[in-house]
Amino acid sequence: MFSMLTIDCRDVESIKSELVVYVSDQVAAIPTLKNHAFMLSSLDDQIIDKDVVITSIKEFLGSIGEGNNFAVISNNDVISIKSIYGKIIERDSLPNSDMFSCTHCGFLTRYEVELQNHMKLHYL
């Protein structure tokens, strides 16, 4: 159990933005995007269950039909997503600069208006 985990996404770079949103929602953690990875930090110093993170990554990969092509490998506080057969997921992904992120919880969206509406919820 860890309060911060790193998820290495080098082999699934094109779906990193979608994956970070899905996983952080599933485990109720604050995401931080890095170049080839993302980090999950716990809310209020709670412990992040690594097994739940691994399960949610596998669920996401399965939902896009890639569950059998990638392995999710855990090594201490780093979880790596590795291509089993050398396959690369081809997707048109937005550059990180086109994503808007909530400074309070890490919510990600492509639309600035959606982010503004989301942030209003923090002040209700």
What values do phi and psi take at 97, rounded to 5?
-70, -20
Please return the burial class of 5, using the count of CB atoms within 10 Å of its CB with bins 0-12, 13-18 and 19+: buried
Query: Which pLDDT tens digit goes with each residue over 75-102?
Result: 999 999 999 988 887 765 444 556 777 7
Residue with more model confidence, 57 or 98: 57
- Note the pLDDT tens digit of each residue in 3-21: 789 999 999 988 998 899 8
- Whole-number pLDDT of residue 113: 81
